[in-house]
Every structure is written in structure tokens, then in C-alpha cells.
Structure 1
């Protein structure tokens, strides 16, 4: 990103981006995205525009082309320095040129340079990428089209620039968006949901394996578009064989067929019955200023408040005998205990007390230092470490963080959570991938608790060991696995494996993939048989770039897995650097997939015309690197939540650009409900200051109220607080207690009946702590349990049977 000089002239500033058209094609578990960006130069001189935008961190950019007037230019992947030189040479000679490159700091940021666009001319940019779709807690496949690029926090004292940009309020977004989706799968498509309004789902065949849907008219691209796709029989393992590129050399990645295996390992009953694995649980919570944002636009609950509730639920659900600790971070970090402590009534009470007062007041988003501190703590023997990371932001040191997680992967599993729109997919997905865990994203109106509890179930599963894979293939055919070695397997979690197939086979030939491993000492095996013949629609070449089935989606995702693995390798000296860079550049150019060492460059040379006049540099005003004159006044007219987001995002610039911005912010926001404080967060003022009043806190969720009263052992205590949570008086609860029953047993049974009778829709959230309560009751071997269940049903107006409670 260049300096912001020249961006502070609102009277004449152009809006080069006019429209965005996005076509999404989903095949089973992977997606191909085609985005067309239309620009127009309204200046009276040639224009160079830079458009910085986010993509999923696990996306493989595989095509980039442009149309300027009647000229069609297709970009080539080249070594990055060579591409930049060709772009600069083209500009200096007056030719149209385009450059697309990935940020070295984070693989989910790209910058597109549109060079020498003549006065009055329009340009249409076409960008294609392919990506895997993550499986959510409810078996939905998640696709997210990012709308905004959150500021990437630059650690204090660090060198280099970061793409510090922010979004414009919806009322100021000047361009249109069209978004259409086509879905196909071997299994029927059951439904498609979104955080935005969709037109009705249209099935394209009678067996409902193909469907299409569009974004409803009137959508303003002011937030991420999240899509959730659901298949029937979602856990059925599948295999997709894709033919090689006819023009590529046999024996190369692009020249040979590639198979993508989708596996859902299933553990045997003896294994699943031992899910109470006692480990060490470390929670790392983001307390940067942006965690004070609402969870979603209309929400009265902030991200930090939701995170506090989620931490409470996690703490109550931990098994007896485990160890735990809680860290929080901003530009500094804190921890509740000097080292992980044994889970007990005393330590749980201490932790809950500290969590309840945690606020979004620690400034920036520096994860690396607390992460390194956690890894320096010695592991507890026979207590496998499980790390839970919660963050809503972006960081400028993504690669350093992922390197740290990878370096310590043998000592822990990492479960990561991206909170709110704009959370870095490169960071969240990367930490889970390198740490052998699972990633989740919480956006829109979703509750954080169900997704986090699913990850806790994964963490409670015993570690998988002795993983090995074998192939049973016809004579003359071999398979080379392109994916990194499998290091983590969870019950109910999908794994995608890519392999290159060499040799020839008959049309009827089949292959078999077998994965063996042990879980808690029990041997397990998963097997998948598949046809070696490529699907008919993949037997094409890539010269016809407009056809969706010619994009070699599987090949390019396989190439991306290799590229990302190479990028994570150590480059401690010039020899290692040169070796890895050469391999990366060759693989990137061969597959057409971008990397940190390559870029897409397109130069228009067809008509030989030279664009006349001095070049004007413009950053796309929809993605602002700093304050633009007159814009702060417009923010005051925006909705409170957009205003809040704009305010806090702009405040982050003060660490980089100093007192000038602080003065402008103080002036622009005077008389509003927001104050400019010396801490690193923004929040509404207290009552009486500038006439603003603090919003009353919403009443606590009854479920969380009940959860907060549970003891570490799993039981509940009888008292006024429990009675209030159940909606009864203390007298009613005491009077109906069977005479022979102990008070703790009676209280615990009442809590379980209430959960089963009134909160079955949230069972994913409380199931683990209910299991702990049931286990506590069974240990008591109380003969009066049946009597208590009958009395509890009568008191609460329920009809829950004893066996439903696990008793």
C-alpha cells in the first residue's frame, strides 16, 4: 500500500469500481468462484487504481483476465519480481497493464493494480479462484464472500507496512453486486441458507442433486455474504477423479489424473464410550478493541460478551481431573493462573470470577507473544494439551503465528474460532490446520456456543495414533499423496485427501484407499472404494476458460496444498530459500495457482496504442487506508452500529499515524455517544457525559444463568438462585422436595429436568455438562432418584422420563 497523500481531496475523487458480479459453482465439497469487477475512469487523465480486497485464506487463485474496450488480456503467472517489472515497463511505455499479487504477510489479502486506464474508458476484471468448503457443526458446508477487509494490526515497533483499510457505510457503497450459485453433488441438496436474503432454491433435476439460487434484489454489499449448503447423507465418504490437462506433460501434476477423497472416519463403540479424556485445556481470548463491536448488526450483545458466556459454558463442561488456564490478549496479554491448574471447585470459582469482568480493553491484536508463552510452559504428563483460540480480527504476522503453531504441533491440538465478519480465514483455518484441530466461524446471527461445544467434543475425543494409509490399485497404476500427512482424526470430522494417479487402467478398474489408526488402544479402519475413471465432465482442456467444468478445480486445490506446505517450510539460509522458492515458482506457474513468490501479470499489446498523459494514482475509495476529507461527517448520519464500526476501525490508525488523526477524530465525533480515550477501545460514554446514556444490560439468558450455578463436580446446590433460574420460589422448591432426598440430588435432578423439558433446542450447548451431572448422580447411587424425577416433573410442569436423563 502506498502513502495516503492525494486521497484527501473529496471534491474530485473518482469512484472507479462500478459493479461486481460473482458466480459460485459448488461441486460436492469444493467451490469455484468467478468474480467480475467493472471499473470506469472518470478522470480526464489516465488512471492507476489499486483495489485491495480479501479472499479466503485457503483459496487458490487460478485465472485472471481483463477487458479494456475491445481488448481482451489474459494474465500469466510469473515470478513476482519479473511480473512487477513487466507491469512497470508496460506503464512506462503507456500500455494498459494489470497486476494481481498476494500479500507476503497474509495469504487472504490480494492487491489488484489497474494500470494506465485511459480517460473515460471502462475495464472489466475477471478473477477466478477455487476453495474447499469447511464443514460446520450442523453438517452444513460454509462459503463466505468477504465484503470488508478489517485493519491488519501492526505490532508496536515492527517494520514494514500493512494493508490498513476499512469499509464504507452501506449507504455510501456506490457499486452494485450480483451473486448467483449453482450446486451439484452425488447426494441430494436438502437446502441452502444464507446470512443475506436469497431467492427461492431452484432444483435443476428430479433427484435434486443439482440446484441454483441467487441473492435477492436490493442487497447492499456492506457485510460478508455467508452461504450454508446442506446435503442429505452428508457423512457419506466420496471420491472424485479429475482428468489431467491434455496439453500438459504426462507425469506432471497437471498432466495426470488427480483424485480427491472425502472421508468421515467413524470410531467403534468401545472408543466413543471413552470420550472423557482428561487433558489440559488452554483458552486464548481476543480482548482487542474490536471485540466490543456487536456480534451482528442488530445484536445488543457484543462479541466480548458472547465470548464470556461461551467461556463460562466451556468451563462448566470440562471433566473432573483435567487441568486448565485462560489467557487473553490485545497489544499485551494476561493469564488467570501462572500455569495450568487442576480443575476443582476452588479454581473454577476463581476463573469464573475473572472471566465475568473481562472487557475489550487490551488494544491491538498481537497473538504471537501469548502463544509463545503458552508453548514455553511444560506439558503435563498424560494430559494432552488442547488450545482454544478466539479472535475477531486480522494480524500482520499470520505466517509467523502459523509457523509457531506448526513448530509445536506435536505437543497440542489447536481449535480456532473466527468471530464476526472479517475474521481472517487464513489465520483461523491455518492455526487449526497446523495444530491438528478444527476451525469454526461465527457470523451473522449465529450463536457462538453450539460451534464451540462441538469443538470441545472433538477435543475430548482421545488422541489418534499410528495413522497409516495404503492403496489397493490395479497393476501399473500408482498413487502419490499430495496432501500433508494426516495428523488429526476426529469422530464426525471431514478430511480431504488429494493424490496424483499415474499409469493406465481399464474403464472398469477400481481403486481402494484404506486408513488404519488406533484410538485409546483400539485399532480402527476406514476404507473407500472408487472408480479410477475420471468423471465425464472433467475430460476437457483449459483453453475454453469460460466453461466452468474446464477449471481443473481438484488439480488446483491439490497444487495449493503443496504450495502452502512449501511456504511453511523453514528458510533459514540462502540455500534453503533458493531451493524452496524455485520449487514454489515452478509449481505455481505449472498449475496456474498464485503464491507468495509469484503474481498474475497482464499487459495489453494488441493495438500498439500509447495512453497519453501523466498517470494519476488512486486507491479504491471503497477501501480507505486513512481518513478522507469530509467522510467523517457522513459517518455521523449512519446507523449506530455502522458508526461504531467505522469509529473503532479508524481509531486503530492512531497507533500508526499519530496525533493528527486523533485531533480529527476528536473533532469529528464530538457531541456523539462515543468518546476518544487513551485506552485501545471505543465504547459508549457513561450516563451524563455529553448527554449520552449507557444502554441497560439485557437480562441474562436463563440457560446461562442455570449453567453458571453448576458446581465443578457436576451437581447443583439448592438455594434462591437456583429457584429463580427455574422460575420458581425458594419455598416451592423446598416444599416439593421428597423427604428422603438429599438437597444436592434434588437440585441436580431439577436442573436436568428443566434442561430436557425447556431447552432441547440448545442441547448441543448443555449436553456435556448434563452428562457430568448424570455421572455425579450415578456415583451417589441414590435409591430415591425415581421419586425425585416424578416430583420434579410435577413442580416444573414437565414430562421427562428417568431414562431420558441417562439415569
Structure 2
């Protein structure tokens, strides 16, 4: 079968890439990264080596250079087509050449080509980039060094323009021939509390007595079985600030790199409002492709992605407000919708949806998200119910830019909240569809639980709309600010807002200040945040703010080679080359022109192998000439199993051990915890019925609960709901983020149903605080 279908096996050839070393400098919430790839040709023939690797979509790559025999060769950023032609010409002339480019289908995949590497020669290739660090809900700044690149599912077999050539060897982790090392230096004027990681680290070494700087390194032996994450906790992370950076002295004013650049970070103090929005159309688009059978992490007994998704959808359905509309889509190579159109949220429709969620399987083949998106957008809008779209996927698609463009073109009528599931989810897809639609994005990796992150986004979608957002500048005469970031259209409570601008005109010689203000309206009230800042720009040799500003501009307009409008392509190309920040239309090219003798003999082509964790989707049209998707899987250290059309049940850590397990899948998801059992019993209006199922969870007999009923003329469901809320606070307090919204519904239901015969005293919880019940209710389980 391998011979007839061309199944990929590891070629036992020496690998030119020997190690990857990363030097990381984090100052406040900006990371400056230098990554060096060390190559050595141990073969007797000249080589062309190609290495495909992941990178976060927000990375602004601005430098690429080679160190060959002690001589540094700095690459130039050029039009991608020209750079590719120059690279090929150099190889044909026997010159050493180096090419770094973004993949044509995604901003989070890069390809590094080393051409005419002579036998016995060594070369160090160093690329540098900067990026903002996202802020987690618990106040941690998160830096991710991507180490996992999942193969993308291919729609049409069009691979000639992509670095993601499916013939690149994929090897088990223990056979990977290169190593990874990382050293991080962290600094903040606010002081560093602690540094955590999902990987083993050296002990944190504080470099100053006041703990404003520290150093930490990745322990030796990283297995490439996960992305490397650093969680950095400062003593204070919510301080708004403005930074002004001087431009390059050798550049003319009136240019992006010659003028000062300014970075503004706001933390809008949006008041919390318990009265969540009850209107809205909530559509949940769930990935049910074969890859969703993979475990959430590589720990024993890890929940599968599809099981975590089932549990999350149950929570979402229980947390929706009465009066809204909703629908659920499953997608893979095809898609299914629960209802022909979104339905009103009632007890009947909720029950029907929950029962169908319990039957969901990861059995829909590949990952094709564009068709269901188009179907959702074609549906007529429901007056008074703005569309809120929730997208869940492991993000392994090749038509990334087509999907982003589809979401962007419909951004005026909806917000998209996106979730990347598992290691290697595409940051380009997940972050971009949220950014272009005014939503938020989350990644669930390692031991993260999906539920709290998703429920936090649902809370955002239920917030009253912030309207009339505007930015104003108060600057000295002759100085103006030109915004390089897109105009803010949405603000969420508790989130950071970062904006970039270019300052033009004659800067004041003496000390002067400027002011920037953020204005917005919330429920008829006008708010304004103001920041005053010095107009004396500070120098930075790396021009960090300028690079980040350029990246922000490029992200706004760059939709890849085929999807970007001609005018936007012209702007992206101009800013990319001027700033040195790579884009879809540019590539770094370096040629060793001082090589005295051309490299002799034909060169051998070598693709650097990548690790395979669980599975890989490949295009059957290329491998087998079939239209059905092909999946091959590999247990760590075991041989590949060939599959066509469906997921194997043999030796596959991404699937159940046998078909009988399928019928027990939901029992394992929901039946595993009393919390989920309790949530499963909640009705659409937020109440519980007093029955045997509830008493089993509470641990008290039905007779005892009936005897303890404090007011016989009050409906039993009110009493049952009070007891359920008490149980949540007593036994589920560590997972409060997951049940806050459904508790809010329960408390509102208690107030509504109690009506003229309220429960006495402390048995009737207030909207503000129902925790008092935990100490006042008798007979709790």
C-alpha cells in the first residue's frame, strides 16, 4: 500500500539543521526575539536544505542574516517574486544563497531555504522579530515560542505556491535530529512576581534586588511535543502608558521610519453591569474533523478535543439568556446545521440541541470552514438580535486568507469569537478572524480548560454595546498624529487596547507634552480616558515601536497573494520594504557573493523533518489520485497506519480504542463530574426541578429536602434552584468562571418565580451576591 499510494516514510539521510537557539528579551509587554538556526552539511555533496517552521501571527520579522565562516551576510527584504528569482539564479550559478519567506497561505508559517551549502561547511542563520504579548484574564503576559506545526488540510491540492509541501518528512519525536534552547531576560519597572511555563525551566534568577529584571532558560532536552509558553506576572499590568520612539536619523522626515512613532496602551475602566444583554443570535461553529479526536494534551487520560468541545457547548447552551436565538453547526469536509435557521431559545429547543451535542463525533473528515461560514452569512439577519459567532477549531486549514476575507467582508453585521484548540492551532486563522470582526481570540493548550475561556468570551458578547468610540489628540501646533492601527470599533471590559500612530510635523525643541483621549458611550453615558505624555522621543536601536506599528498596518491590509486588493497590496509592499517587516509580498534574500569558487556538482535537495504528534491530514489527490481525504496517524515511536476516508481505530492515540467506546463518549464527558451533571439538569429558564436526579448530586434524600422546604407555599422548583446555587458555591467555587452566567439566570429565575411568596430571609439570593446561601441553607449536600 505504501508503494502504490506514495505514503511518506522517513528518509534515513543526515539532516543539515543541528540546533535552534532563541534569545528572548521581554520589556514590559513587548518581546524582542532572536532565533538562530545552526546548519552543517555532513554529506559529500552540496545541499539545498528547506525548513518549514511555525511562528506566531503577531510576530514582526524584520531581520535575517547569515554567518558563514565568520563573515556576516545581511539579507535584503525585497519583492517576493524578485527575491525568489534571485535565489534560483544564485543557485544556478553555484552561489550560496539564503531565502526566508512567509507561506503564501498563512502568516504563521515560514520557510527558510539554504542553497548550495558546501560539504563540511557550517552556517548560522539568525532571524529577529518583535511582538506584543497578550494579557491573560489572571494578569499574566503570555509569550509562546511555537514548536508545533501541524500539517494543514488541503482543499484542492494546490501546493505549488505553499511552503507546506506534504512530502516533507514527519518523524516521531524521539527521532528528531535537532535541539532547541532558549534564554529569556525579563524586565519591568513594576517588578516581577513570578514566571511560569508549561515546560521545565531553570530556576528564575533575579538580576536586581527590587526584582525589576530576571533571567530564566528552557531546560535541556525539549522534545518538540508542545509549544513553549512563558507566563509572566508583574506586580502591576493594567497601567495605561504612551511611548514615543525616535525615527532613524538617516531617514528623511515624512517617512514611516524617519518620523517618531507612538504606542498607546489603554485599559478602559468600563463599569461592570449585571444586566447582561438578553438579545442576540448566537451561532456556534464547531470543528468535527478527524483531528478533533486527538487529546487536548499529551498527558495520560487527557480529555479529547471533541469531548472538551461537547462539554463546552453544553455549558454555552445552559448559559444563554432567555429570549435570544441560537444555532449550532458542525463542520469538517462537509457541514451540518442543527436547525435550518436560528431558533428562539426555549426549553424545547435547548433540550433538542443538548441531545444532539451529546451525539457529536469527530467524524467529518478534513477541516473546511469556508462553506459553513458562507452559509451562516447568507441567512437573513434577525431584527434586534445582532449575530455573535463562536468558532472552534484546531485551525489546520490552507485557505486561511479566504476565510479571513469572508469574515472581514461580513464584519459590519457580526462579531466573531474564535478558539484555537490543542497544540499547533493556526494563530493566523484564529487571531485574524477575531481581529477583523471586533471579537476576541483564545487558545486552549496543554492543561488549559476550554470552558472558562469560552465562557469569558460569552460574557463579553453579552456586555452592553460600547458605542461611538473615537480617538482624539491634543498636540502642539504643527504636530499631528496619523493612526497606523485600525480605528477601534469595540471595547471589552478588562481588556487592553493598543494603538500605533506616526507623529508628523516639526517636533518641539524644548520639553513639550501631548495628550491622547479615548471616548466612548455606554448605555447613554459618555466616558473618556486621557493620557498625557512627553513629546521627547526616546531612541531604540531596534526601532521596536516602529516595527510593531508597521506590523499593525500590514495585518490590517495584507490578505495574502490572491485575496489582497491591488491598492492594499501596493500599500503593504511599500510599508513592508520601508520598515523591513516581512509580509505576504516580500521575502528576505541573501547571497554570498564573495564565494571565490562556485559550488561544484549538482546539489541534493533535503527537507528538514518536522515532528508528528498524533496525526497529519494530507491531500489524497496528490498521494493516491483520490478525491477522499487521507489520514495517516502515528503513535509516538510506532509505525504509520494508512487510512482512507475515515479515522483508524488501531494504534491511534487520537481515537477511541474500539467502536463500542463511542456510545459511552458522552457519559465520560458529562457523567465524569457532579458539576457537569448538575449543569445538565438545569432548565433553559435557569431553574432546576426537585427530583431524584438532583438529590443524587446534592447527596441528600428527596424526603429530607422536602421536609426542609422552608415555605410550603413556594414552588418546589424555587427551592430546588436555591439548593443548586448553594451547591455551586460550596462545591464548584474553583470553577466559578464556568457557571457564573447560568447562576445569574438561576438567581433571576428565583426572584421571578418566588413572586408574591418569596423564600424567607437568606433563602432568596440577591443578584449581587448569592454566596450567603452557602452558610444559611440547611441540609446541603
Structures share fold, TM-score greater than 0.5: yes
Instruction: Kindly report which structure 2 residues correspond to 1:290-329, keeping only aligned pairs within 5 A, or say none.
Output: 290-298=291-299, 299-329=301-331
1:202 to 2:190 alignment: no
Counterpart selection for 1:233 from 221, 233, 236: 236
1:547 matched residue in structure 2? none
Displacement after TM superposition at 1:350 (Å)? 0.6
Q: Distance in 1 between matches of 2:116 and 2:641?
A: 43
Question: In structure 1, how many angstroms separate the alpha carbons of the residues matched to 2:99 and 2:470?
Answer: 43
Q: Write the deviation string for residues 369-412 of structure 1: whole angstroms up to 9, x where unpaired.
A: 10011011111111111100000132111111111111111100
CA displacement at 1:274 relative to structure 2: 3.4
**Which of these residues, 732, 737, 751, is aligned with residue 724 of structure 2?**
751
1:777-788 correspondence runs (5 A): 777-779=750-752, 780-781=754-755, 782-786=757-761, 788=763
> Counterpart in 2 of 1:176?
179
Q: In the alignment, does 2:258 pair up with 1:255?
A: yes
CA contact (8 A) 1:78 1:598 kept: yes
Q: Which residue of 1 aligns with 2:768?
A: none
CA distance 1:146–1:714, change in 2 (3 Å): same
**Paired position in structure 2 for 1:772:** 745
Decide whether the 8 Å contact of 1:789 with 1:801 is kept in 2.
Answer: no
Superposed, 1:390-401 pairs within 5 Å as 390-401=392-403
CA distance in 1, matches of 2:102, 2:322: 47
Instruction: Supply the distance in 2 between the matched residues of 1:177 and 1:240 (Cα, whole angstroms).
Output: 34
Distance 2:649 2:297 in 1: 16
The corresponding residue for 1:511 is 514
Q: How has the CA–CA distance of structure 1 residues 260 and 687 changed in structure 2, closer, same or farther, with 3 Å as cutoff? A: closer
Measure, in 1, the Cα distance between the counterparts of 2:406 and 2:589.
33
2:130 alignment counterpart: 130
Taking the aligned partners of 1:196 and 1:623, their CA distance within structure 2 comes to: 17
CA distance in 2, matches of 1:282, 1:295: 23
**Which of 721, 724, 729 is equivalent to 2:696?**
724
Tell me how far 1:489 sits from its aligned partner: 1.0
Taking the aligned partners of 1:335 and 1:710, their CA distance within structure 2 comes to: 24
Contact 1:137/1:450, CA 8 A, preserved across alignment: no
Q: 1:561 aligns with which of 543, 552, 565?
A: 552
Per the alignment, residue 275 of structure 2 pairs with 274
Matching residue of 1:218: 221
Counterparts in 2 of 1:569 and 1:289: CA distance versus 1, 3 Å: closer
Q: Secondary structure at the match of 2:520?
A: strand
Q: CA offsets per residue over residues 308-351 of structure 1, 9 Å max, x none?
A: 10111111111111111111100101110111111110110011
1:58 Cα deviation after fit: 1.9
Q: Structure 1's 660 and 351: CA in aligned 2 closer, same or farther, altered over 3 A?
A: closer
Query: Against the structure 1 CA distance between its residues 217 and 694, is the aligned structure 2 distance closer, same or farther, given a 3 Å change threshold?
Result: farther
Matched with 2:709 is 737
Supply the RMSD in Å over aligned alpha carbons. 3.3
For the 8 Å contact 2:632–2:642, the answer to whether it is kept is: yes
Mark the CA change 1:203 to 1:8 in structure 2 (over 3 Å): closer, same or farther: same
Shift of 1:140: 1.9
Q: Which residue of 2 aligns with 1:636?
A: none
Tell me how far 1:723 sits from its aligned partner: 1.4
- Mapped to 2, the partners of 1:661 and 1:138 lie a distance apart of 46
* Aligned counterparts of 1:659 and 1:321: Cα–Cα separation in 2: 50
Aligned: 1:763 with 2:736: yes
> What is the distance in 2 between the residues matched to 1:567 and 1:349?
43
| TM-score for both structures, normalised by structure 1 | 0.87
The question of 1:36 aligning with 2:36 is answered yes
Write out aligned runs for 1:85-124 (5 A): 85-124=85-124
Whole-Å Cα distance in 1 between the matches of residues 680 and 484 of structure 2? 47
1:635 maps to: none
TM-score by length of 2: 0.90
Do residues 608 (structure 1) and 596 (structure 2) align?
A: yes
Q: Confirm or deny: 8 A CA contact 1:364 1:680 kept in the other structure.
A: no
The superposition leaves residues 422-450 of structure 1 with CA deviations (integer Å, 9 ceiling, x where unpaired) of 00000000000011000000111010111
Deviations 1:87-119 (A, max 9, x none): 112111211110011112111111111000000
Q: How many Å separate the matches in 2 of 1:571 and 1:653?
A: 21
Q: Secondary structure at the match of 2:750?
A: helix
Aligned length: 754
Deviation at 1:591, TM superposition (A): 0.5
Q: Give the equivalent residue in structure 2 for 1:657.
A: 623
Cα 1:398/1:570, change in 2 over 3 Å = closer
| Kept after mapping to 1: 8 A contact 2:634/2:640 | no
Summarize the Cα distance change of 1:571–1:683 in structure 2 as closer, same or farther, 3 Å threshold.
closer
The answer to whether the 8 Å contact 1:39/1:123 transfers is: yes
8 Å Cα contact 2:26-2:186 kept in structure 1: yes
Kindly provide the CA deviation profile for residues 541-594 of structure 1, in whole angstroms up to 9, marking residues without a partner as x. Answer: xxxxxxxxx221111111112222232499899xx62x4443322221111111
1:692-747 deviation per Cα after TM superposition (whole angstroms, max 9, x unaligned):
99999475122111111111101111112111222334344334333524311111
CA deviation after TM superposition for structure 1 residue 187, in Å? 2.4
User: Quick check: 1:292–1:681 contact (8 Å CA) kept in 2?
Assistant: no
**Contiguous gaps of at least 5 residues in structure 2:** 766-770
**Deviation string for 1:729-784 (max 9, x for gaps)?**
43443343335243111111111111111221111111111111111111224432
Contact 2:169 2:607 in 1 (8 A): no
| Within-5 A mapping of 1:340-351 | 340-351=342-353
* Greater CA drift, 240-249 or 420-429: 240-249
Rounded to whole Å, the distance in 1 between the matches of 2:734 and 2:186 is: 29
Query: 1:281–1:665: structure 2 CA closer, same or farther, 3 Å change rule?
Result: closer
Deviations 1:512-548 (A, max 9, x none): 111112123222222222222234xxx25xxxxxxxx
Contact 2:632/2:640, CA 8 A, preserved across alignment? no
What are the residue-to-residue correspondences of 1:415-494 with 2, within 5 Å? 415-494=417-496
Instruction: Write the distance in 2 (CA, Å) between the matches of 1:67 and 1:6.
Output: 38
Question: CA offset at residue 509 of structure 1?
Answer: 1.8
Secondary structure of 2:775's counterpart equals coil
Partner of 1:630: none
Q: 1:801 to 1:771 in 2, by over 3 A?
A: farther
Distance in 1 of aligned mates of 2:134 and 2:90:
40
8 Å CA contact 1:323, 1:342 repeated in 2: yes
Please list every run of 5 or more consecutive structure 1 residues that lacks an aligned counterpart in the other structure.
541-549, 625-641, 791-795
Point out the more displaced range, 509-518 or 678-687: 678-687
- Residues 686, 694 of structure 1: 8 Å contact kept: no
1:286 and 2:261 matched: no
Native 8 Å contact 1:738 1:787 kept in 2: no
Report the Cα distance in structure 2 between the residues aligned to 1:432 and 1:66, rounded to whole angstroms: 36
Partner residue of 1:381 out of 375, 378, 383: 383
Q: 2:542 aligns with which of 547, 551, 554?
A: 551
Q: What does residue 710 of structure 1 align with?
A: 682
* Residue 594 of structure 1: aligned partner: 582
Deviation at 1:799, TM superposition (A): 4.4
